[in-house]
Structure 1
Amino acid sequence: MTHGDQENRARLVAYSYLSVPERDDYLAIVRLFGTSLMADLSAHEVAERLGRGDVETVTARLDALVAWGNLIRSTHRVRAASIAEFQRARARYQISKLGERIQRDVDDVLSWADAAREVAAELLALVDRELAGLALGVVAPGGVDTEQGRDAVATLFVQFGEFAESVRDFYAYLGQVLARYDLDGDEYHGFKALLLDYVEAIRADVAFHTPRIRASLDALWPHLGVLLRRIDDLGGGLTGLQEVTGARVQRSRGRELADWDALRAWFVDTDGRGSQVDQLRAATMRALGSLLANAKRMIRSTTSGQSRRGDLIRLAAWFDACDEAGAHDLYAAAFGLYGARRLGVAGDLDGTVPAGTSWWDGPVAEVPLALRERGERSQRGRAASVEDHTAQKAHLMARAHAEATARTEAAAELRAVAGQFERARLSTAAKGLFEELFTGALGSVSGDLAALDGARCDLEELDIALGVRVEPAARTVVRSAEGDFEIDGLRLLLGRAGADWDLSTVRESR
């Protein structure tokens, strides 16, 4: 293990107070020290402010926090008028930098962990403006004013940091919401109306400012090293502390080239794996896919039968309000599953027994002779040979191949008769594939008839897609050996799967 790994492990020990059984006491103590700058308190003062009478317990908690690195012992001199006062105040404590940083993050997580954070999209315009000003200044005669450049860099990175952090928080919340599969209709429509509009607004802002920011970064990049050195020459920072004492100094954001590399990687693909803007676009598409998955789930629950979601939620509420005995009775009444009385012997798996049948009145299980007479579960004699399933496997593979071939031929037949359905008679397989495409297009949207305009269904493996246009005067007739299928008010379009629709070139069904 390297020295750096040992230091990292030592820092992680400072999180120990969050996982011990007495974490409520430790949280109250560390919060007390973090309420003011450089708070210097003794164990008696901590006990008084927290309303704890047991000073010995408070002292033990403080010493544990010192051992973990959250607190440090104070060097503050004690002035006492008596020995008793000196004993009360001689051990004093202060919060460490690591302890204050951890507690600040903990309070932020506890306060806003489940909240939806707004994206500070307006800051992206300010970032664009600051970068454009720096890019113009570095190429002007005499260069940018050093003090103005320092102020612009500080402002730029504060704004960009807040924007990038808000984007990460919002998309994390969005993923958490869309991963839920218990959304009912009202919740789904509320999230769809709010989140989709909000996500589209964010995407539009980023798409508008990204080319301008890239151009400003390209113009600024050759002059960046000189600008940062001139800003450092102004002084006023803590770089001298590092040179004199060797202490590590965390510089303000934007004063190091690494900060600018991170900023540039947000808007420019620097490593071949895509920029953060590209990842933002991909995350938006995943969010849309999750919304569509929820929509399809709700459509299936309403078309394939009555949804039992409300009944199950009501049953869960009854379970939550029951005591242990009542929960057992409720479970037996709801599901008809009673305690098993047969141990180790399987019943008749082929027979069908109603769920309400008592075990006493149910069919008798056959107990093997070896178990009944000798108490042995293993059967005597030679083990039977392993059955050969080669023929069954070959049959299943041949059937799967035939089905795939039939679907491919059906797709080719559909493409061949596109635009002349009324003069062609489809085979049974082609008609089935057409109904699959049409059903998929209808299921991709929800709402009234107008919402179907532009709906489509793509089958990538067959390279075929079907789209829908709403035209009140249109009438489509699909003829097959099983009968005619008439569709009024809709015009159907056939095209290549995955391709963008171009209504002027796609063949129409008439």
Structure 2
Amino acid sequence: MGELADDLGRLEAFTYLTAPERATYLAIMRLFTASLMTDLSAQQVVEELAAQEIDLNLDTAVSRLNQLVGWGNLLPSSHTVRAKSIEEYQRARSRYQLSPLGERVQRHTDDVLSSADAAREISRELLGLISSGLGDLANRVEQPGGLDTGTARETVAAIFAQFWAFRDSVRDFYAFLGQVLARYDLNSAEYVGFKDLLLDYVESITEEIVLLAPRIERHLHRLWPHLPGLVQVMRDGGLAGAAADLGVTVQRSRGHELADWTALRAWFSDADGRRSEVTQLRDATMRALQSLLANAKRMMRSTGHGASRRRELLRLAAWLDTADEESAADLYTSAFGLYGARHLGIAADQQGVVAATASWWPTPAVQVPVALRDRGERTPRGRASGIADRSALQQALIDQAAVLHELRVAAAAELLSAAADLGAVSLSAPAVHLLLELMAQALGAGNPLLGNAVTMVVDLGLRCELMSKPRNVLTLRSAAGNFIAQDIDIAITRLEDCGG
């Protein structure tokens, strides 16, 4: 159950693709995947999106970025922030970087968006290279001394890269073919095109696979006794060895695990009662030919009754696309028998009379009473609903305000206890937020050079003064990060101690 929960948690990284604001989320993720190890602040994201004519304010950008952090697509960056003012610090302190899971999800998303409807060509020339590579590898491991690490890594990497590219191209092409042949509205021209595709292209590929699959199966049979030693040779060194002492999990390259070789063998050979992919490929080709034959029978016995009207609908769509607004409305009415509605049974508004010939789009909607709309009655029935009781909501708001006030009082007490030396302690997040608020109000009230940068919070009994102190560096430490103030000092006192 623990592994299942972890898997379901990782699936949250796909949430931004289905959220209502997915267009904005997609644009943000593309900013982070545009280059390696991208580190951006919320302000930089706003500026980059503005260059793409996407309007997003800073608060909304921070909300979107934090949401992506919650889903696991982004990570808070550890980049050190150097700011010359409080405003610059507040704008640049939150920085983000791409997580490994977020990068993989966005990469696959872009692949799907760029080639979802395309018919992918099968890389059948790779099949011959796979057979040659396996044969050469089998010859080398059978020789005295075997293979050295470098040669083994290069050969296995080439074989598995070619196999995965070939396997993916086969799956993509047959998925596209199944989508097309599932249609029962192919016209004669489309039928001829797909017939040629099946009889020429698909048949030639199937024949080549059937020809080379036994050779590949023989090469794998020769390699199988030597695989444990071959895999061990390829495991020596590499990133896995360097990361072993750090406790980091490393995903090995394809071909460096016995499971990869088992999957390769299962593609070409029947094993453990499971039919190979080659056998399934022949069956899929047969089903495609049967679907094509079914379309041919449909077209031959069709006499007009129950036949597809796809051609007529496409012709109507072309007419609507080139017609003006008035002609398009007439075409739509003639094709589907839909005529304009009339408002009946409701007295017209004397100040807003709408002509019967006016279009629905620009005219305002008519407010129909509920009794007339639901029951067809003109007179209302039943008592009027009472005033909603919002006492529970009011009490919840009062409780929330009380909690926030308690947090501010505790933060004020923490600042007063550390007032003697603010740089010597690590402040909590509420205390830092309150201190930044006091500093911003003090800078707005005056100038530290003139000695009038003072602010007071009566409800907290707190006074904050910013004083000019050349060559002084004050570092405020907190869990949220460090804030460095130069050439100023901060005095936090109680109001009653100042005679207030």
* Deviation, structure 1 residue 143: 1.8
Deviation at 1:307, TM superposition (A): 7.8
Mark the CA change 1:239 to 1:315 in structure 2 (over 3 Å): closer, same or farther.
Answer: same
**Cα displacement string for residues 344-365 of structure 1 (whole angstroms, at most 9, x for unaligned residues):** xxxxxxxxxxxxxxxxxxxxxx
Counterpart residue identity of residue 24, structure 1: A
Amino acid at match of 2:4: D
Counterpart position of 1:139: 142
- Gap regions ≥5 residues in structure 1: 335-510
Q: Is 1:216 matched up with 2:222?
A: no
C-alpha distance in structure 1 between counterparts of 2:130 and 2:98, whole Å: 36
Aligned to 2:377: none
Equivalent residue, structure 2, for 1:376 = none
The answer for the alignment partner of 2:395 in structure 1 is none
**Superposed displacement of residue 139, structure 1:** 1.3
- Residues 26-45 of structure 1 aligned to structure 2 (within 5 Å): 26-45=25-44
SS at match of 2:75: strand
Residue 175 of structure 1, CA deviation: 0.5
The equivalent position to 2:96 in structure 1, one of 87, 93, 96, is: 93
Alignment of structure 1 residues 289-368 onto 2, 5 Å:
289-301=290-302, 310-311=311-312, 313-314=314-315, 327=332, 330-332=335-337
Contact 2:332 2:338 in 1 (8 A): no
Tell me the equivalent position of 2:74. Answer: 71
- Is 1:6 paired with 2:11? no
2:239 is paired with a residue of what secondary structure? coil
- Tell me what 2:228 maps to: 225
Give the distance between the partners of 2:164 and 2:334, measured in 1 at CA: 56
SS at match of 2:109: helix
Asked whether the equivalents of residues 266 and 275 of structure 1 are also in contact (C-alpha less than 8 Å), the reply is yes
Q: Structure 1 residue 236 and structure 2 residue 238: aligned?
A: yes
1:127-178 Cα deviation digits (max 9, x unpaired): 1111001111111122233321221111111111111011100100110111
Counterpart in the other structure of 1:182: 185
Q: Which amino acid aligns with 1:12?
A: L
Gaps of 5+ in 2: 340-500
1:22 aligns with 2:25: no
1:199 corresponds to 2:202: yes
Do the aligned partners of 1:239 and 1:249 also contact (CA within 8 Å) in 2?
no
Aligned pairs for 1:44-123 (under 5 A) are: 44-51=43-50, 52=55, 54-123=57-126
RMSD: 2.6
1:83 deviates by: 2.6
TM-score of the aligned structures, taking structure 1 as reference length: 0.61
Distance 1:276 1:53, change over 3 A: closer
Q: Distance between the aligned counterparts of 2:83 and 2:306, measured in 1?
A: 81
User: Does the 8 Å CA contact 2:81/2:92 hold for their aligned counterparts?
Assistant: yes
Q: What is the deviation of 1:318?
A: 6.8
* Structure-2 change in CA distance of 1:309 and 1:23 (3 Å): closer
Q: Secondary structure of the residue that 1:238 maps to in structure 2?
A: helix
Q: What secondary structure, in the 3-state scheme, does the structure 1 residue paired with 2:83 have?
A: coil
Instruction: Number of aligned residue pairs: give it.
Output: 332
Which residue number corresponds to residue 411 of structure 2?
none
Query: 1:53, 1:286 → 2: CA distance?
Result: 51
CA contact (8 A) 1:74 1:92 kept: yes
CA distance in structure 2 between the aligned counterparts of 1:6 and 1:310, rounded to whole angstroms: 50
2:269 corresponds in structure 1 to 268
Deviation at 1:311, TM superposition (A): 3.8
Name the SS of the counterpart of 1:237 in structure 2.
helix
Question: CA 1:189–1:86 in structure 2 vs 1: closer, same or farther (change >3 Å)?
Answer: same
Q: Encode CA deviations 1:225-282: one digit per residue, 9 max, x unaligned.
A: 011112223x1232442x3233322110000000000000001101223111000100
- The CA distance in 2 between the partners of 1:333 and 1:108, in whole Å, is 42
**Percent identity of equivalent pairs:** 56
SS at match of 2:19: coil
**1:379-390 superposed matches below 5 A:** none
Deviation at 1:304, TM superposition (A): 8.4
**For 1:10 and 1:152, how far apart are their aligned partners in 2?**
37
CA distance in 1, matches of 2:40, 2:313: 54
Shift of 1:308: 5.8
Contact 2:42-2:95 at 8 Å conserved across structures: yes
For residue 402 of structure 1, what is the aligned residue in structure 2? none
TM-score normalised over the length of structure 2: 0.62
Displacement after TM superposition at 1:291 (Å): 0.9
* Aligned partner letter, 2:78: T
- Are 1:153 and 1:254, in contact at CA under 8 Å, matched by a contact in 2? yes
**Superposed counterparts of 1:342-491, under 5 Å:** none
> How far 1:324 sits from its partner (Å)?
8.2
Give the 3-state SS of the residue equivalent to 1:120 in structure 2: coil
State the distance in 1 between where 2:329 and 2:259 align: 59
